Amino acid sequence: MGLTPRAIVRRLSAHPLPVYPESVSGIRTLLLGLVAALAACDSQDGRSTCDVETSALRVVALAVENGSTFRAEVDFSSDADGLGVSLALCDDDVLTIDGDEALRVDRPDRIIYAHTSDVTTPRTIQIALSRKDDAPVEFILEMPPSFEVVAPQAGADVSRSSEFVLEWAPANPGDSMRIELAEEIGKGVCLETIQAEHDYKGLSGVDIEDDGNWLVPANAVDGRPRDKCEATYRFTRTHESAYPAAFAPGGRVAGRIERRVAFVSVP
């Protein structure tokens, strides 16, 4: 991670530059400006975990495996800051994911700490937060069982006027699978799904039993008079892991397996 304004101030304090009388005022102004900048750089509203006990921190940890990589992301917030306000880690806090220090990523809406790695087994991710004045917290994010899409095959033509069975393997009975439909260009206007049970283009897709197959009835995907439509099915299997009791309630620890298959929808 790069140096934060707080770290810069500490380094300047530990290694002061030669100061001449006429420069005292300017350096003092510079240091005050750096201190003030902490509020702008530490998090969205100037808050960091420095001021929050571990028991008051809420954590959201999510890992996604897409067949080639794991991408784990962790962010922190607290009840005192309200929903949607993420906290930057204090300089004395260290977050590791699978033993590696997580990379800070500043997004427009929040601050996350991320780690990307190749897909390996066992399918668990070790996350640990070490703090100067608090006991470290370690927890495990468990991934759901992996799977692969059997049908449709990549690039296959799938008729809208005939029923079609989506297939994946292995199944995970007793759990659920989410299926979404997207078009290659933007959100697409070529295909429509207006039946509630088959609204794959809806905001949340369709959650179904994870039985390894799902029947899409004829005309459930509508292309009207259009000819070919390039589209993608996304299959998502999610597992919720145990939330660590050391943190404040309201957070989430989850792993997700995603598979995408591009196909051509035809009349």
At 195-238, the pLDDT tens digits run: 889 999 988 899 999 999 999 999 999 987 778 899 999 999 99
Which H or E run contains 255?
strand 252-266
Please state, in angstroms and rounded to a whole number, the distance separating the CA atoms of residues 259 and 21. Answer: 66
Q: Give CA separation, 132 vs 61, 91, 95, 135, 236, in Å.
A: 22, 10, 12, 8, 38
Please state, in angstroms and rounded to a whole number, the distance separating the CA atoms of residues 52 and 118. Answer: 34
Which of these, 113, 129, 44, 127, lies nearest to 83 by C-alpha position?
44
Q: pLDDT at position 196, please?
A: 83
Question: In the predicted model, what is the mean pLDDT of the chain?
Answer: 83
**Bigger pLDDT: 18 or 99?**
99
Q: pLDDT at position 38, please?
A: 40
Q: pLDDT at position 199, please?
A: 94
At 69-84, the pLDDT tens digits run: 889 999 999 877 665 6
Which H or E run contains 204?
none
Structure tokens at 209: 């039993």
Which of these, 242, 213, 72, 207, lies nearest to 147 by C-alpha position?
213
Q: pLDDT at position 45, please?
A: 53
pLDDT higher than threshold 90 for residue 3: no
Contact 24, 31 (CB under 8 A): no
Q: pLDDT at position 21, please?
A: 43
At 154-204, the pLDDT tens digits run: 999 999 999 999 999 999 999 999 999 998 765 567 898 888 899 999 888
Q: pLDDT at position 183, please?
A: 87
Residue indicated by tokens 């066992």: 122
At 29-55, the pLDDT tens digits run: 444 444 334 433 444 456 889 988 999
pLDDT higher than threshold 90 for residue 27: no
pLDDT higher than threshold 60 for residue 143: yes
Please state, in angstroms and rounded to a whole number, the distance separating the CA atoms of residues 166 and 149. Answer: 8
pLDDT higher than threshold 60 for residue 144: yes
Return all residues near 35 (Cβ < 8 A) that are at least 6 apart.
5, 9
pTM for this prediction: 0.78
Q: pLDDT at position 203, please?
A: 86
